[in-house]
């Protein structure tokens, strides 16, 4: 039976038609033996130094003694209907490929189904494109949802601003020392509220690509402000913050609010990572090298699992139940917008994030 079938499939014109198809094509009988294959399939088989026709397909292609678990041959021969299935394959190029197998029944004389044509197609790029389209659809939906939330988010922020202004009026009749303390707290709340209001506008209106508002920024002063801002939160979580500033002015040309946002996000991430740990400690160090102002955030937390490290800066990726997956992605965008770099190393003893920003003197001289 196999020999007759092989003679039937070796008509020159039909073989030329099959060979013109870029996908691998195998004709297999009901016993999994390869009856015929096209040029694309032969090239794949030749790499294994196996003569294709006459061998069982699972032995020839995958070096397996038994039929593949995803094979639809028996079902197609029994039902007489075509079938499709996908599977993943680590190919000879070292990449993981997604392959689509299409099974088409072939009717023998007397309408007896004894063989099947199998077309193998690499759909890795299509799957990747579909994933990218799905991701872009998610981003578009997020943008639409964000636009709807803009008004609702700005209302309470505006209300906070008004209430802080009223509070400043209320304390005017109090002793001077009390007024100074309360007004200091009010100013911190107002400044952070204004920054949050601007951040909400930036995110909700998708303005991340707008030009930076550049000025001279002293990273020493900026980090002192950030540490002071998050001091109460760190104390609440029993996390110690060790701040070590550079002896020399650490000047960069940048957008102060955005750089502050990036540093706040990095420090908050460290505090949250240490929330359930005793003796939690975050060391923030500012130093200078020949080209950059270098900021190191080093904590003694549980670290970032190796399997998750490639996803850390991805938009919307988070391991926190209440997280948005935006913070570290925005940190990277902000640092790179300033011509800098952000990197990290992590193990079971903690995580260390490094931010490198071009020194202003070098930027001006360059």
pLDDT over threshold 50, residue 49:
no
Identify whether residues 241 and 347 lie together within a single domain: yes
The pLDDT of residue 30 is 83
Express as a percent the part of the chain with pLDDT over 70. Answer: 80
Express each pLDDT in 255-303 by its tens digit: 998 899 889 989 988 888 887 788 889 999 999 988 899 999 999 888 8
> pLDDT value at position 205?
42
Q: How many alpha carbons lie under 13 Å from residue 226 in its C-beta half-sphere?
A: 30
Within a 13 Å sphere around the CA of 257, how many CA atoms are in the beta-carbon half? Answer: 13
> Tokens at residue 182, please?
């309360």
Q: Compute, in degrees rounded to 10, the torsion defined by CA atoms 296, 297, 302, 307.
A: -60
Decide which of 87, 106, 122 is a domain's last residue. 122
Residue pLDDT, tens place only, 119-148? 888 887 777 777 777 777 777 777 667 666
> Residues 252, 293: contact at Cβ < 8 Å?
yes
Looking at the structure, tell me whether residues 28 and 86 fall in a common domain: yes
**CATH number where 132 lies:** 1.10.287
CA–CA distance, 342 with 269 (Å, rounded to integer): 15
Q: How many CA atoms lie within 13 A of 270 on its CB side?
A: 31
Q: What 8-state DSSP symbol labels residue 306? A: G
Helix (H) or strand (E) holding 278: none
Residue 252 and residue 336 share a domain: yes
pLDDT of residue 209: 40
Q: Of 103, 122, 141, which one is at a domain's C-terminal end?
A: 122
Return the percent helix, strand and coil in the chain, to nearest 5: 50, 25, 30
Residues 276 and 358 in one domain: yes
Residue identified by tokens 């952070």 is 192
Q: Are residues 48 and 116 in the same domain?
A: yes
Which domain CATH number covers 42? 3.30.450.20
Same domain for 93 and 237?
A: no
- The reply to whether 255 and 360 lie within a common domain is yes
What pLDDT, on a 0 to 100 scale, did the predictor assign at position 294?
A: 95
Residue 364 has pLDDT above 80, yes or no: no
Can you give the residue range of the structural domain that contains 277?
Answer: 211-366
Residue after which a domain boundary falls, among 60, 89, 122: 122
What CATH number is attached to the domain comprising 329? 3.30.565.10
Convert the pLDDT of each residue in 215-229 to its tens digit: 999 999 999 999 998
Residue 167 pLDDT greater than 80, yes or no: yes
* pLDDT value at residue 365: 52
Residues 342 and 268 in one domain: yes
Same domain as 162, residue 232: no
Mean pLDDT of 24-52: 76
Instruction: Give the model confidence (pLDDT) of 93-105 as tens digits.
Output: 667 778 888 999 8
- What's the mean per-residue pLDDT of the chain? 80
Q: What is the Cα–Cα distance from 340 to 343, expressed in whole angstroms? A: 10
Q: Indicate the number of domains in the chain.
A: 3
301-346 pLDDT tens trace: 888 877 777 777 776 656 654 455 667 888 888 898 899 999 988 8
pLDDT of residue 144: 67
Helix (H) and strand (E) counts for the chain?
A: 12, 12
Residue 1's pLDDT band (cuts 50, 70, 90): very low
Whether residues 222 and 353 fall in one domain: yes
pLDDT, residue 212, reads 79
What pLDDT does residue 93 have? 65
Query: Cβ neighbours of residue 92 under 8 Å, at least 6 residues apart?
Result: 47
At 169 the pLDDT is 87
CA atoms within 13 A on the CB side of 290: 0
Q: How confident is the model at residue 194 (pLDDT cuts 50, 70, 90)?
A: confident
Query: Is pTM beyond 0.95 here?
Result: no
Among residues of the chain, what percentage have pLDDT more than 90?
A: 15
**Do 170 and 307 lie in a common domain?**
no
The per-residue pLDDT for 340 is 92
Q: In this structure, are 350 and 215 located in the same domain?
A: yes
Strand 280-288 vs strand 292-299: parallel, antiparallel, or unpaired?
Answer: antiparallel
Helix axis angle for 12-19 and 39-46, nearest 10°, is 70
């Amino acid at each position: 039976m196999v020999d007759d079938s092989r003679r039937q499939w070796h008509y020159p014109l039909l073989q030329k038609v099959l060979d013109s198809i870029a996908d691998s094509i195998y004709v297999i009988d009901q016993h999994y033996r390869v009856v015929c294959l096209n040029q694309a399939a032969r090239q794949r088989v030749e790499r294994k130094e196996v003569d294709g026709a006459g061998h069982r397909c699972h032995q020839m292609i995958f070096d397996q003694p038994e039929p593949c678990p995803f094979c639809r041959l028996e079902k197609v021969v029994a039902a007489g209907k075509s079938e499709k299935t996908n599977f993943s394959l680590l190919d000879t190029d070292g990449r993981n490929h997604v392959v689509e197998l299409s099974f088409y029944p072939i009717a023998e004389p007397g309408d007896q189904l004894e063989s099947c044509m199998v077309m193998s197609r690499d759909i890795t790029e299509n799957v990747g494109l579909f994933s990218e389209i799905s991701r872009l659809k998610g981003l578009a939906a997020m943008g639409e949802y964000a636009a709807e939330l803009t008004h609702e988010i700005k209302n309470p922020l505006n209300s906070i601003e008004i209430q802080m202004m009223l509070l400043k009026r209320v304390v005017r009749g109090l002793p001077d020392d009390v007024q100074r303390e309360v007004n200091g707290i009010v100013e911190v709340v107002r400044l952070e509220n204004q920054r949050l209001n601007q951040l909400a506008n930036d995110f909700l209106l998708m303005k991340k690509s707008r030009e930076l508002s550049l000025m001279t920024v002293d990273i020493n002063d900026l980090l002192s402000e950030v540490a002071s801002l998050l001091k109460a939160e760190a104390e609440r979580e029993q996390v110690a913050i060790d701040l070590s500033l550079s002896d020399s002015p650490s000047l960069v040309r940048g957008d102060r609010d955005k750089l502050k946002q990036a540093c706040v996000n990095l420090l908050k991430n460290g505090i949250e990572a240490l929330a359930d740990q005793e003796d939690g400690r975050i060391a923030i160090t500012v130093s200078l090298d020949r080209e950059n102002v270098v900021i190191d955030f080093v904590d003694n937390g549980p670290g970032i699992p190796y399997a998750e490290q490639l996803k850390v800066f991805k938009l919307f990726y988070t391991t926190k139940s209440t997280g948005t997956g935006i913070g570290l992605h925005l940190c990277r965008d902000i640092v790179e917008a300033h011509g800098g770099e952000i990197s990290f190393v992590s193990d079971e003893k903690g995580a260390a994030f490094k931010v490198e920003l071009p020194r202003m003197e070098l930027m001006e001289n360059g």
